[in-house]
Chains A and B, each alone.
Chain A
């Protein structure tokens, strides 16, 4: 009963944690731009607060760097179930321009944690990010929540 109630609430109040695992910042500021009055992320019930312990959605920007190799998994396990991972930009998908000889990135992110949605672009437009979050988050939270019961 409590779980069912929690699922309903969580479906319309999505908490997001942004994790930069070694990108250029470009994707991060596009997520910040989403908060602006023009896109107004919060009208969709999405709240960015950067606390993995209460996140429903983890937004990953950036290729995985040396320091993040172990920590990424740790942060991922900190987030409560059910959770959704959205990879933003080319960095988490392929390592983008850094994934060349000499670079020290370990992309893709899906080698480390399961990824639910991917958005390509360097950086993708804010509206695309918003679309991806809305496409996967509510459904996935509901579905995974029911599986657990």
Chain B
């Protein structure tokens, strides 16, 4: 039997159609239908200056909105052969890590919601709100921050705000282990997460899984290791696990949060004084820059003539993760409920994924496709 879920479904944050091929309760295979939030962002950006495009890049995805502008700005800095002032780089790390914490907490809360574990769902949201406050304190906005510009960040952070952020972070750090333990040791949440939705390392490589999803399956790869600011000035540990099941993916996100907390503390303690923004003369040419978003790696490929954007292509992590979820994790889920939970454990962000359209020349048919079919 074919069981269609969505596009509007209690467990999905975003519209997407999941077609499950089932036999009784058992799921045999899954197919995913995209295209509900395709807005044509790249096409809008073409022929515009960076000032008119950077806010569009922010709205590729609202959950990890921050990293998109950072990558966008860094691509332009790369093309122009400049780097942002050091203080701006530190502030970027600070915002990025705050954003990662809130995104991971949100992702785990969605997973618990899919498991029907209302208590942990509420606790996750309870932990997340102070982080949103910290982001608002720093940038003036909760979701779409408008924080990056080419050549730095929009405004300087106030010293007292940095201290307040540190307090928020320290409070999170002191409360945090209790909630992790609830999941790690909890017999029921554990039972429903261990050995469910397994993806081996080979499958993860084949499916090009990235971010916590890939790392949960044993791919030790975190782009922050290669990022100049992280590499040269800050210390952190890459978190990865071997199991490759729902438990591993959720725990991986849990364990990354203390690393982010550490990074934030390092930034606030060591942030240098100085400029936060400098004028960049945009060069002409092509540049490609990758960054580690909360969900994996995001790539910006930009071609510019020194003023206007000729061509831009954005690759977001979710598309690979959702596809490897459909191909490998859902292929024999024991029950439909497990399939929904597995899908939630991948932390899908549909808004990111939906910018790919394939035009069939012969039939003139428009189709929205996953990354597998374009390769």
Contact = CB atoms under 8 A, between A and B. Distances in A.
Partners in one complex: yes
Interface of A: 17-30, 32-33, 35-38, 49-52, 62-63, 65-68, 71, 75, 96-98, 100-105, 122-123, 125
A15 B37 CA distance: 24
A26 B10 contact: no
B126 A38 contact: yes
Interface residues of B, number: 43
Contacts, number: 135
B128 to A, nearest CB: 7
A59 B61 CA distance: 19
Contacts of B59: 24, 26, 96-98, 122
Contacts of B143: 26, 29-30, 123
A91 B243 CA distance: 41
11 contacts: A24-B144, A29-B63, A33-B129, A35-B122, A36-B126, A38-B129, A49-B10, A67-B38, A97-B56, A98-B39, A104-B39
Nearest to B10: A50
A123 B144 CA distance: 7
Interface in B271-299: none
Most buried by B among A25, A35, A105: A25
B129 A63 contact: no
B225 interface: no
Main SS at interface, chain B: loop
B231 interface: no
Given A37-B129, A104-B40, A122-B144, 10 more contacts: A22-B36, A22-B38, A25-B349, A35-B125, A51-B8, A65-B35, A65-B36, A67-B368, A102-B43, A103-B40
A26 B14 CA distance: 11
Contacts of B132: 33
Given A24-B351, A96-B59, A37 B40 contact: no
Nearest to A102: B43
Contact of A123 (B55, B62, B126): B62
A71 B8 CA distance: 11
A26 B39 contact: no
